[in-house]
Amino acid sequence: MQFSDFIGRVNEPQTILMAKKTRELRAQGIQITDLTLGEPDFATPQHIIEAAVTAMHEGYTKYPPVAGYPELRQAVCNKLKTDNNLHYLPEEIMVSTGAKQALANVILSIINPGDEAIIPAPYWVTYASLVALGQGECTFIPCSVDDNFKLSPEKLEAAITPKSRLFIFSSPCNPSGAVYSREELEALKNVFVKYPDIFIISDEIYEYINFKGRHESIAQFPELKERVIIINGFSKGFAMTGWRLGYMAANREIIAACEKFQSQITSGANSITQRAAITALLADKAPSFAMTAAFKERKEYFIAALSNINGIRINDPEGAFYAFPDISAFFGKTDGHTLIQNADDFTMYMLHTGHVAGVSGAAFGDESCIRFSFATDLDTLKEAAEKIKTALGRLH
Ligand code: PLP
């Protein structure tokens, strides 16, 4: 069958492919410890579920406004003021079917064929795919465990060309767990002020999963605010992945362009989810903080366990729920059957011989690492650490 060039530019994410492989091996009776998951293992807090049920009974079952219910857009403004000391008006907020759709709206509203998007690597896979859909070109800036996976202002400036149109990053970062401090963001801001044509997409979806303390947004610098697009959502911080709700905060011209796009793609985000999200934002955030405390405990165990394995080099993630060890010391080694030459080989060795599923760093633009999610219980993490150690002990 013949399909469009457009669909030819879309790849299924590696994360989804690995989850599929894991299911296949399990169906053969093999005990796989799955660390591929990109979602909290907790249930959505009860008060949010109840708000959704109430919304249905109250009749919130019709098409909502394309950009979102006014009360929700206002609640997002209040959240940005309270949590981040950022001032936005409701017309500068738009809610979408997940942060993913918010990203699609904005990237496809900004990028023209041939425009460049600068993306520090490792990065969340979808950024590059969406730029490719818009026929833009990605310029990746490699960062590594040696610099805690953070971009320096020098490297940023060296990557900028007259075609640079967009900069996309996440803090806390999926997959590296890097969290930028105010000072580090300010140093990047000092570069961006020299290049007024570059928009900045700041993906803050892991904001609440921060082990370091205060979340900092690059939108806090008044010189940049007009061209920063904050992306955030409910999937990670409120354990609401299946509800599909995200939002963006940006200047109203950007919102207007995105609204036009969204009106033709989805007509807006699910009405019931939106009502529940108002409750999520207005209610006590204790359940979110309890989840973060659990992620922190797991992180401490798992990072210590991985650091003790010879050959693994690892940073201490300051946010999100992923370990991203550098495993390049194992390249060139074999267990007598399988030769490991790169991160993909390592990931397959871990899956088929170690029986632990992770996602190759190559999927995130880093050929030296593997991503293991610690959004799972401590017993599973202990089992995984044992299996990883045993599998790596067989390599020579
Ligand atoms: N941004 C990052 C960095 C993510 O890791 C994810 C999900 O894995 C998303 C955005 C998408 O989130 P949502 O479920 O709101 O579409």
Q: What is the domain-level CATH number for residue 252?
A: 3.40.640.10
Per-residue pLDDT at 99: 98
Ligand 1 site, residue 40, Cβ cutoff 6 A: no
Say yes or no: 74 and 190 in one domain. yes
Per-residue pLDDT at 176: 98
Report the share of the chain in percent with pLDDT over 90: 94
* Residue 239 backbone zone (phi > 0: left; psi -120 to 50: alpha; other: beta): left
Question: Which residue from 235, 266, 273, 364 has its CB within 8 A of the most atoms of ligand 1, so it is best to mutate?
Answer: 235
Per-residue pLDDT at 91: 98
Beta strands in the chain (DSSP E): 33-34, 93-96, 116-121, 137-142, 164-170, 199-203, 228-233, 246-249, 322-323, 356-357, 359-360, 370-373
For the CA of 173, the closest atom of ligand 1 is 3
Ligand 1 site, residue 124, Cβ cutoff 6 A: yes
Ligand 1 site, residue 375, Cβ cutoff 6 A: no
Instruction: For residue 154, name the pLDDT band (cuts at 50, 70, 90).
Output: very high
Per-residue pLDDT at 197: 96
Q: Quick one: which of 179, 140, 146 has its CA closest to 158?
A: 140
Say yes or no: 364 and 386 in one domain. yes
Q: How far is CA 91 from CA 19, 57, 201, 274, in A?
A: 39, 28, 18, 16
192 CA → ligand 1 middle, Å: 25
Domain boundary among 282, 315, 339: 282
CATH number for position 361: 3.90.1150.10
Task: Tell me the average pLDDT across 315-330.
Answer: 98
Task: Tell me the average pLDDT across 318-345.
Answer: 97
Task: Tell me the average pLDDT across 14-25.
Answer: 87
For the CA of 246, the closest atom of ligand 1 is 15
Per-residue pLDDT at 16: 82
* Residue 135 backbone zone (phi > 0: left; psi -120 to 50: alpha; other: beta): left
Is the pLDDT score of 37 beyond 90? Answer: no
Task: Tell me the average pLDDT across 345-360.
Answer: 96
Is the pLDDT score of 40 beyond 90? Answer: yes
Instruction: Give the residue numbers spanning the domain of 150.
Output: 46-282
Ligand 1 site, residue 302, Cβ cutoff 6 A: no
For the CA of 38, the closest atom of ligand 1 is 8
Ligand 1 site, residue 342, Cβ cutoff 6 A: no
Ligand 1 site, residue 232, Cβ cutoff 6 A: no
Neighbours of 205 (CB within 10 A): 24
Q: Which two tokens stand for residue 134?
A: 């818009």
Integer Cα distance of 243 and 273 in angstroms: 6
Q: Quick one: which of 300, 297, 325 has its CA closest to 310?
A: 325
Per-residue pLDDT at 291: 97
Q: What is the pTM of this model?
A: 0.96
Task: Tell me the average pLDDT across 234-254.
Answer: 97
Q: Which of 3-7, 56-60, 112-116, 154-158 has the lowest mean pLDDT?
A: 3-7
For the CA of 320, the closest atom of ligand 1 is 5
Say yes or no: 159 and 268 in one domain. yes
Spatial contact of 117 and 138, defined as CB atoms under 8 Å apart: yes
Spatial contact of 107 and 254, defined as CB atoms under 8 Å apart: no
Is the pLDDT score of 270 beyond 90? Answer: yes
Residue whose CA is at the smallest distance from ligand 1 atom 8:
38
Q: Which two tokens stand for residue 79?
A: 């959240």
Cis peptide before 175 (omega within 30 of 0): yes
Domain boundary among 215, 248, 282: 282
Residue whose CA is at the smallest distance from ligand 1 atom 7:
38
Q: Which two tokens stand for residue 319?
A: 């946010």
Dihedral sign, Cα of residue 183, residue 188, residue 191, residue 196: negative
Ligand 1 site, residue 241, Cβ cutoff 6 A: yes
Say yes or no: 50 and 39 in one domain. no
Per-residue pLDDT at 11: 79
Task: Tell me the average pLDDT across 135-143.
Answer: 97
Say yes or no: 16 and 117 in one domain. no
Integer Cα distance of 156 and 167 in angstroms: 10
User: Cβ contacts of residue 248 below 8 Å, gap of 6+?
Assistant: 93, 94, 96, 102, 105, 106, 229, 230, 231, 232, 254, 255, 258
Say yes or no: 335 and 229 in one domain. no
Q: Quick one: which of 146, 173, 157 has its CA closest to 38?
A: 173
Say yes or no: 233 and 336 in one domain. no
Is the pLDDT score of 307 beyond 90? Answer: yes
| Residue found under tokens 């013949």 | 2
Per-residue pLDDT at 12: 79
Say yes or no: 21 and 51 in one domain. no
Say yes or no: 67 and 194 in one domain. yes
Per-residue pLDDT at 6: 86
Is the pLDDT score of 85 beyond 90? Answer: yes
Report the share of the chain in percent with pLDDT over 70: 100
Integer Cα distance of 118 and 250 in angstroms: 19
Ligand 1 site, residue 170, Cβ cutoff 6 A: yes
118 CA → ligand 1 middle, Å: 19
Ligand 1 site, residue 246, Cβ cutoff 6 A: yes
Q: Which of 18-22, 118-122, 349-353 has the lowest mean pLDDT?
A: 18-22
Per-residue pLDDT of 170-182, as tens digits, reads 999 999 999 999 9
Say yes or no: 71 and 183 in one domain. yes
Is the pLDDT score of 8 beyond 90? Answer: no
Say yes or no: 328 and 271 in one domain. no
Task: Tell me the average pLDDT across 246-252.
Answer: 98
Q: How many domains does the chain have?
A: 2
Per-residue pLDDT at 128: 94
Instruction: For residue 33, name the pLDDT band (cuts at 50, 70, 90).
Output: very high
Per-residue pLDDT of 273-295, as tens digits, reads 999 999 999 999 999 999 999 99
Per-residue pLDDT at 356: 97
- Give the chain's mean pLDDT: 96
Is the pLDDT score of 323 beyond 90? Answer: yes
Q: Quick one: which of 292, 103, 282 has its CA closest to 202?
A: 103
Domain boundary among 252, 282, 312: 282
Spatial contact of 140 and 121, defined as CB atoms under 8 Å apart: yes
Ligand 1 site, residue 235, Cβ cutoff 6 A: yes
Say yes or no: 241 and 110 in one domain. yes
Residue whose CA is at the smallest distance from ligand 1 atom 5:
174
Spatial contact of 142 and 366, defined as CB atoms under 8 Å apart: yes
Spatial contact of 330 and 345, defined as CB atoms under 8 Å apart: no
For the CA of 124, the closest atom of ligand 1 is 3
Per-residue pLDDT of 387-396, as tens digits, reads 999 999 999 9
Ligand 1 site, residue 99, Cβ cutoff 6 A: yes
